[in-house]
């Protein structure tokens, strides 16, 4: 009986171990989630010669390095990037933020703000409830001093200020002329500044702020500046670190500037709408020194630039800073050598770009040594982009 009990316990233990190989958790002696160790199957690797794990082909794709592509696939991926960018632009045009701002508030049509008189009448009356002289006299904006709720009365076109809040400014107003009530609310609830000196003039500039606007109780716009740092050099100060976020429903933009050393900077901007819009710009900048007051073209020692659109990226691998030191009429060879533009898809290089025909065309050279004018991808693209905004800008 003891032997039977022992064998039953062993079987239960064995079944328990097998079950841990499919529980989605790295446990036991697994070397990764549900694989490796003494009980589970070996973990897939990117060099085992087998199509496994998340790979889309043998030992590539998924969690492994991107798979090599053919030139035809590269062309298709480039074209899809342009197609997605066009759809992205259309999504932006049709977004809630653009509708609220361009259509409802501004009533922008064919380049003309049709609601201009209404907007001017409403904003001019703000002078009665906001002490603009205080800002001018003190050369700074004091949020606590201006705090309060400002309510627009559409009947007599006036603003009423109440002191029900002491740490923020609230503006309640209609989002469009025919709104039945004040369905828009702008809130400025954080602002900090610092006294700086630029070109001998002392002023207060922001170091952080936050503001948001709601329409019909849903957020449409939001700006967050979490950090601006100013560096001092010979009485001349410039922002050297910036961290900011902008939301325009449903689009989000992040802007980051960081100071690596006294004369080296990294800058990045990312834009996304959670769908087809996924654009990023990254730049590295190195100056000869930190003498901000006497900055010139010769002060630029290094520039590295990368532009990402979806999974496609264009990178400068040359000495871009040397462009500033060329003559007024540089040759194509000089420009191409300085830029050395490479095209990547999913981090794999797929082509080179060169400027040609007196700087008027860009030629793409593929990895099979074939080449063509890049206009094959964007011919008509800019016209399509422009047509999307014709309603607003004419």
Phi, psi (degrees; rounded to nearest 5) at 174:
-75, 145
Helix (H) or strand (E) holding 18: helix 2-19
The answer to which of 1-5, 43-47, 220-224, 327-331 has the lowest mean pLDDT is 1-5
Q: Position of tokens 């790295």?
A: 26
Surface-to-core class of residue 348, CB atoms within 10 Å of its CB (0-12 exposed, 13-18 middle, 19+ buried): middle
Q: Which neighbouring-strand residues pair with 113?
A: 108
Residue 43's pLDDT is 87
Judge whether 77 and 312 are in contact, CB under 8 Å: yes
pLDDT of 1 higher than 60: no
Q: Is the peptide bond before 372 cis (omega within 30 degrees of 0)?
A: no
Residue 35's pLDDT is 87
Higher pLDDT, 44 or 355: 355
The four Cα atoms 146, 152, 153, 158 give a dihedral, to 10 degrees, of: 60
Nearest partner of 119 among 109, 106, 132, judged by Cα: 106
pLDDT at 185: 98
φ/ψ region of 172 (left if φ > 0, alpha if ψ in -120 to 50, else beta) reads beta
21/13: higher pLDDT: 21
User: Quick one: pLDDT band at residue 238, thresholds 50, 70, 90?
Assistant: confident
Joined together, the tokens standing for residue 26 give: 């790295």
For residue 295, pLDDT beyond 80: no
2: confidence class by pLDDT, cuts 50, 70, 90: very low
Q: What is the pLDDT of residue 12?
A: 40
pLDDT tens string 50-80 = 888 888 888 888 888 888 999 999 999 999 9
Task: Provide CB contacts within 8 A for 56, sequence distance 6+.
Answer: 62, 67
Between 328 and 115, where is the model more confident?
A: 115
Task: Report whether pLDDT(259) > 50.
Answer: yes
**How far is residue 177 from each of residues 115, 132, 180, measured CA to CA in Å?**
8, 26, 9
Six token digits for residue 186: 């702008």
Number of residues in the chain: 394
C-alpha distances (whole Å) from 289 to each of 201, 267, 301, 321 are 23, 18, 9, 14
Judge whether residue 365 has pLDDT over 90. yes
| Residue-level pLDDT at 327 | 79
Across the chain, mean pLDDT equals: 90
* 107-111, 137-141, 232-236, 237-241: range with highest mean pLDDT: 107-111
pLDDT of 10 higher than 60: no
And the tokens for 102? 């361009």
16, pLDDT greater than 60: no
pLDDT of residue 54: 84
Q: Which two tokens stand for residue 207?
A: 């170091």
Asked if 141 and 209 touch (Cβ cutoff 8 Å), the reply is no
pLDDT digits (tens, 9 = 90+) for 102-137: 999 999 999 999 999 999 999 998 988 999 999 989
State pLDDT tens for residues 299-309. 889 999 999 99
* Residues paired with residue 299 on neighbouring β-strands, in sequence order: none
pLDDT of residue 5: 40
- Residue in the structure block whose two tokens are 């003559």: 327
Residue 208 CA: distances (Å) to CA of 61, 202, 244, 246: 42, 19, 9, 13
pLDDT category of residue 7 using cuts at 50, 70 and 90: very low
Contacts of 109 (CB under 8 A, 6+ apart): 391, 392
d(CA 306, CA 341): 10
Give the rounded percent of residues in the chain with a pLDDT score beyond 90.
66
| DSSP E strand boundaries for 163-217 | 169-173, 184-198, 201-215
CA distances for 345 relative to 70, 221, 364, angstroms:
12, 33, 14
Say whether the peptide bond before residue 250 is cis (omega within 30 degrees of 0): yes
pLDDT tops 80 at residue 216: yes
- Cα-Cα end-to-end distance for the chain: 92
């Amino acid at each position: 009986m003891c032997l039977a009990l022992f064998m039953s316990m062993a079987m239960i233990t064995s079944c328990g171990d097998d079950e841990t190989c499919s529980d989605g958790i790295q446990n036991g002696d697994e070397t990764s989630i549900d694989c490796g160790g003494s009980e589970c199957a070996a973990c897939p690797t990117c060099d085992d010669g087998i199509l496994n794990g998340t790979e889309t082909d043998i030992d590539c794709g998924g969690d492994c390095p991107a798979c090599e592509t053919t030139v035809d696939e590269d062309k298709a991926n480039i074209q899809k990037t342009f197609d997605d960018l066009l759809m992205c632009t259309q999504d932006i045009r049709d977004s809630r933020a653009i509708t609220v701002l361009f259509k409802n508030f501004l009533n922008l049509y064919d380049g003309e703000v049709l609601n201009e008189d209404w907007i001017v009448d409403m904003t001019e009356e703000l002078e009665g409830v906001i002490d603009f002289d205080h800002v001018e006299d003190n050369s700074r904006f004091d949020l606590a001093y201006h705090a309060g709720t400002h309510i627009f009365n559409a009947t007599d076109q006036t603003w009423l200020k109440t002191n029900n809040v002491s740490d923020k400014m609230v503006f309640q107003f209609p989002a469009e002329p025919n709104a039945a009530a004040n369905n828009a609310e702008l809130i400025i609830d954080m602002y900090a500044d610092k006294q700086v000196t630029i070109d001998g003039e002392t002023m207060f500039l922001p170091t952080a702020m936050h503001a948001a606007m709601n329409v019909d109780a849903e957020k449409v716009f939001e700006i967050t500046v979490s950090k601006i740092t100013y560096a001092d050099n010979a009485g001349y100060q410039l922002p050297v670190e910036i961290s900011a976020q902008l939301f325009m429903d449903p689009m989000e933009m992040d802007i980051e500037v960081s100071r690596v050393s006294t004369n080296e900077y990294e800058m990045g901007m990312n834009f996304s709408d959670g769908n087809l819009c996924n654009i990023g710009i990254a730049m590295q900048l190195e100056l000869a020194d930190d003498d901000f007051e006497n900055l010139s073209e010769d002060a630029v020692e290094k520039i590295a630039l990368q532009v990402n659109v979806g999974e496609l990226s264009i990178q400068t691998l040359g000495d871009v800073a040397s462009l500033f030191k060329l003559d007024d009429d540089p040759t194509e060879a000089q420009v191409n050598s300085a830029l050395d533009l490479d095209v990547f898809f999913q981090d794999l290089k797929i082509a080179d770009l060169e400027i040609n025909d007196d700087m008027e065309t860009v030629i793409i050279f593929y990895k099979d040594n074939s080449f063509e004018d890049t206009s094959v991808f964007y011919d008509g693209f800019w016209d399509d982009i422009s047509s999307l905004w014709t309603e607003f800008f004419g």
